[in-house]
Amino acid sequence: MRKMRVMLGLLLAAACATSPVPGPRDALTAWAQAVRDGDFDHAYALMSADYRRRTSREEFVKFLRDNGGDVRAAAERLRVGARDVELRAHVDYGQGERLGLVYENGAWRLGEDPLDLYGQRTPREALRSFVRALERKRYDVVMRLEPRRWRELTTVEKLREQWDGPQRDEIDRLVRNLRGHLEDPISEEGDEARMPYGGGYAVKFVREDGLWRIQDPD
């Protein structure tokens, strides 16, 4: 717990020390204006170092010129949309853990409770909790994440036998696959949700008593 407090203190200090200007809105507006003005050098300079390593200036400029109408229209949408952009960030802090932050009222704030390791308020929270529980062999949590009809037919011991027995290698592959897709899009419809992920699989969620549960992980 002491390490967690220290980590949070350092995280908050770093967030507060970071100047929000220039920020994402400024970058979007400047890029859109550069494209509108035909200042391709400036537009290219505003691209990330990783993008510039993958794409030469000549390729970048050629694309802009070959698709002039579409590019200008997209730039205008970016310029207008930059006013309403929602700023988000995340920090990875070991063992696959990720903490989201949001920019509100001139300051960065934690977007979720870093101490709530097994939340179920959203499908994504439930998915993260499911992966974390399996990695830590917290079968009591795995059971809590199951739909009601399954919880009534099993026990923690049965889950331990099922998930930690001869099928453990298969479970480990499932967990690694899910871990690599924790940020994939999730579609919600009423009390059900679905997240397609690698290899044609899909996680299915169901909401019961206000909490999201894992109906089928693959």
Sheet holding 211-216: strands in order across?
A: 187-189, 192-197, 201-208, 211-216
Residues 74 and 93 in one domain: no
- Domain membership flag for residue 115: no
Grade residue 116 by pLDDT with cuts at 50, 70 and 90.
low
What percentage of the chain has pLDDT greater than the value 90?
A: 22
| Residues 138 and 151 reside in one and the same domain | yes
Q: pLDDT category, 126, cuts 50, 70, 90?
A: very high
Give Cβ neighbours of residue 70 (< 8 Å, ≥ 6 apart): none
| Co-location of 8 and 106 in the same domain | yes
Which residue, 67, 84, 101, sits at the end of a domain? Answer: 84
Report DSSP letters for the chain, one per residue.
-HHHHHHHHHHHHHHHHS--SS-HHHHHHHHHHHHHHT-HHHHHHTS-HHHHHHS-HHHHHHHHHHTHHHHHHHHHHHHHHGGGPPPEEEEE-STT-EEEEEEETTEEEESS-TT-TT--SSHHHHHHHHHHHHHTT-HHHHHHTS-HHHHTT--HHHHHHHHSSTTHHHHHHHHHHHHTTTTS--EEETTEEEEEEGGGEEEEEEEETTEEEEEE--
Asked if residue 82 has pLDDT above 90, the reply is no
Counting the structural domains of the chain, the total is: 3
What tokens appear for 191 in the block?
Answer: 């009390």
In a domain, 57, yes or no: yes
pLDDT > 60? residue 209: yes
Q: Do 93 and 178 sit in the same domain of this protein? A: no
In a domain, 172, yes or no: yes
- In sequence order, the 6+-apart residues with CB closer than 8 A to the CB of 7 are 93
What distance in Å separates the CA atoms of residue 35 and residue 82, rounded to the nearest whole number? 15
Same domain, 69 and 128: no
User: Is 118 part of any domain?
Assistant: no
Q: Tens of pLDDT along 33-78?
A: 888 888 999 999 999 898 899 899 999 899 888 887 888 888 887 7
Q: By C-alpha distance, which of 87, 85, 84 is closest to 109? A: 87
Region 182-202 average pLDDT: 90
What range does the domain containing 32 cover? 24-84
Q: What's the predicted TM-score (pTM) here?
A: 0.55
Q: Any idea what the CATH number is for the domain that residue 138 is in?
A: 3.10.450
Query: Would 117 be classed as within a structural domain?
Result: no
At a CB cut-off of 8 Å and minimum separation 6, what does 125 contact?
Answer: 112, 119, 212
* 12 and 41 co-located in one domain: no
Task: Write the pLDDT tens digit of every residue in 145-165.
Answer: 999 988 888 888 888 888 777
Is residue 97 assigned to a domain?
yes
Does residue 149 sit in the same domain as residue 69? no
Q: How far apart are CA 187 and CA 194, in angstroms?
A: 5
| Residue 33 burial class via C-beta count within 10 angstroms: exposed 0-12, middle 13-18, buried 19 and up | middle
Mean pLDDT of the chain: 80
Residues 68 and 99 in one domain: no
Assigned domain for 116 exists: no
Residues 146 and 177 occupy one common structural domain:
yes
Whether residues 143 and 169 fall in one domain:
yes
Nearest to 217 by CA among 158, 160, 121, 150: 150
Asked, for residue 193, whether it belongs to a domain, the answer is: yes
With the C-alpha atoms ordered 90, 93, 99, 102, is the resulting torsion angle positive or negative?
A: negative
